[in-house]
Structure 1
Amino acid sequence: MTSQLKDETRKEIPEIIVDSSTGKKYQRGKFLGKGGFAKCYELTDMKTKEIFAGKIVAKSLLVKPHQKEKMSQEISIHRSLRDKHVVGFHGFFEDSDFVYIILELCRRRSLMELHKRRKAITEPETRYFLKQILSGVKHLHDRKVIHRDLKLGNLFLSDEMEIKIGDFGLATRVDYEGERKRTLCGTPNYIAPEILCKKGHSYEVDVWSVGCILYTLLVGKPPFETQTLKDTYMRIKKNEYHIPSRIGPLARSLIQRLLQGDPTRRPNVDLILADDFMTMGYIPNRLPTSCLTMAPRFDSRCSTVATRKPLLEINNKDGSPVKNVLKDGVKKVDNVTGFKGGVSVPGSVGQQQSAAAQQAAAGQQQKPDEPSDCYLKELYTQVSAVVASKPDERENINEEESEDPAAVPMIWVSKWVDYSDKYGLGYQLCDDSIGVLFNDFTKLLLLSDGENIHYIERSNAEHYHQLKNYPATLNKKVTLLRYFRNYMNEHLLKAAASMCPREGDELARIPSLRTYFRTRSAIILHLTNGTLQINFFEDHTKIMLCPLMGAVTYIDEKRNFRTYRMTGLEKYGCRPDLANRLRYARNMIQKLMVTKSSNAKSASSSSTTTQHTQPTTA
């Protein structure tokens, strides 16, 4: 395989790709990632300007008959599917060196990246995703297709935050009623026991995988995950998994139904859609893109959900719940971050979830497994490992092997203005939202819709208002926020393109600036989602480090924007300019760790910056 991969690199994928059968020309654009035999790029139809994802496979890797047959089957199955929740198939062709598959572009990546950033997600989000996954799986099963590799990494997200099932490399067709397939295939954490035991399998293996996906979304890790493949397979065969007590009873019951060792006892897709977990809890109509990095706020949308009637009877047409629909009914609270206003009646279904709701109502407190330092120690360990490997002293540096566009940061600071001698630091995020970290360590955020504001107390308790309707006590701070916004819009250039606000973004919650400090060389900005950003003054380069993705993004002097896995840099090396910035970052992380966040700004600015009466800007 290694020699084959070397052969592939010798044959460059052309910049202009031509489909000789139709005459269509595609401009090869941004690298999207690689997996198995394929590399993926953005491909732009040069005539229509429509942008697709191009899955490109070197023919040098398809030398054996079964490899060619597998590729043909993947194309044959995928092109036969047409569903809103399946990645769109737009054609395929080949030239002398490569096979090209033209697919729908899913810019929000996959549920795997969401999982890495968020770990466990809320019940409403889980229902939202699960409903769409099941809709796509139903389309497959109705057309006698078994996917056989359903997992977070194969569940892609569109611009509208809708699920698209992709990667049909392991998919198969059922040729006759009752046929049992015998191929050993799948991904370890999601593989069904009947596949492992070679008992023959069918549609039920996809249901098992859906159970693993449901568990992973709610718990934050796969149900059978261990340190070794052998132990994982042993646990699957023995059906050994543990559901934490924080998981609600309806979710627990559905997980147990899906993860039945006996495939004949698992429900089909229609029965899953009718399960109480799906019908008796709130499902958002849309989700904001911000949920890729932070839990949405459901306080205004999910304050009362009945437990005695199905969802269809309590949801308006727009998907929002009707309050007090059951005058004598039991009210239920979901396990939702940011939930306020729900009550739990003793003996009700919601009672087991009340603790989580009360904790969230107390002010968006951190998850139990979320470190209080916002992953600084983890980040220090990751960066230190890269620095210790002396990545710029290798004979053969190969940064390309480390490149991972899927780990690109969702949120970063695109503008900032330091007025800390009077008020605080104002900043704009890449989605056009505005934030101010005031000198009293309170924060005010204006979302990208220009309407919703979030006020965060020093204790981290969050309050939600609108720019046209907020408490008089916030008058001065809202005035300052407007000042910072206007100043940045008028005087500062933006570092990157923004994402347009869309329906559902009113549910958004965005990371805020946790702390910052300045040195003679740079400004160091630490966000509450763990991202650490360093902007260097002299050459305007930037690095963004994400401990959750284990990745670093480097914007160089030419404004090239590349994201690398830190374990990859440790293994394959990197050029000196990036290595130098990582060494600097390690020292700055160490400084943040030894300086209490409450005085990091003042302690640093007193020794490294001078007082000023006019704002200092990026």
Structure 2
Amino acid sequence: MYLPQIVDAVTYLHEQIGILHRDLKPGNVLLCNNDQVKLADFGLALKLSDLPHSSLNVCGTPNYLSPQVLRREGHSKESEAWSIGCILYCMLIGKPPFEADTLEKTYVKIASCDYSFPLKPKICTSAEDLISKLLIPDAMVRMKISDVKYHPYLSNKNIAEIQEPYSVKTKGNNIFHLSRTTNFDQGFGGGCSIADSGIGSDGCLNARPRSLSDCKALYKQLLLGCYTVSDEAPRLSDFQLNMVSKWVDYTNKYGFGCVLSDGTHCTLFVDNSSVSRRHAIEKEAERYLMISDIDQDPWTFVEWTTLDTISDQRLAKKIHVVELFSDYMDKELQPVFEHSCIRQQLDALVYQKRHNGVLVMFLALGTIQINFLESHEKLVISRDEHGRLLLTVIKRCVGFRTYQLLPYASTLTRPDCQKVQQLLNKACQLLEGEKALLQRTYCATQC
């Protein structure tokens, strides 16, 4: 049985070490070969001696936050007891008790303690009773962690033999061993959740969108303030960063053209098709890629080279427009950034829109770029090879600085991080009207 070990570990942190974990969830519970439990990820841990003022910010994984944390009353031993109740529910039912399809709904459910036990699978009465006592909204009435091990559910000598339908003992439903890669293969819409189920660790995957709605899901998370800048020193920009380096707008007739930092020329046509072109390199012929309809879910890609014969007259006309755009931008516009690292896979422009002096662009491989048209500042959101979400800030006379984005609130002490967060907040404020246009809701991480 894993729960007694989790309780022992948390009790040790509180009573012996004097710290709060502040991000208790199944994804931060590790199992050794002998089924010994170990807690992981102490990035949000806080000394009990620093309470209460240093713990008034909202941080942690949304599905496991207590009502008082959401009310900014601070983390405490009682809030960790709430998280243990959520973990036990998730272990037995297969999903967190307050999971919803949007972050807002999750918070409303937590605030009102709106959860229930399913009729199927049916868990034992003593387990329901323990969960109910841990998920009491009033922290003063909530069961203490020190009392959990004496509850009938855990004091039952035969508890290890109880067969809960979706417990971690059930073969094929072991939530501690689920692969986050498997979940994220469904794309942003199916796996990258603002209301993270907490089943796996954060920021270790490289998920790519498969449709425009997948791109919009991440974009909407950014607008809702679900990500904050990490309070760490910036890293030097990766020179392989692929971003829009220059652009031209002819949407009144043809479409929107741009050149990426790897030299790829992209055109998003007014008929919702997108064509990318890469000049011939060494022995390779000139390459093209087309998404016939960016609203199609999932996208359908067609690739060809100049060695192929194009018989479709409409496509031939589009290729001609792409070439005109390319020639104009190459001759008349200066690039923001270029690099010589050529990706094997062609990228494509799948979205562009101007709103309140801000230009927003999406690339098919997952990059989101926000340009401030007046100040010429740029924000580029992308993922590294480990799937971590990064924010690259481009300013005149400053150059490139890259920061990690975290899916929870973090306390910023570095002045540069505070300024970057302010710039991100400014973009979200200017793009406030965009939220209503993004119809797709978030999907919670599947268990």
Q: TM-score range by the shorter chain?
A: 0.3 to 0.5
TM-score normalised per structure 2: 0.45
Which has the higher relative contact order, 1 or 2, with Cα contacts under 8 A spaced 6 or more apart? 2
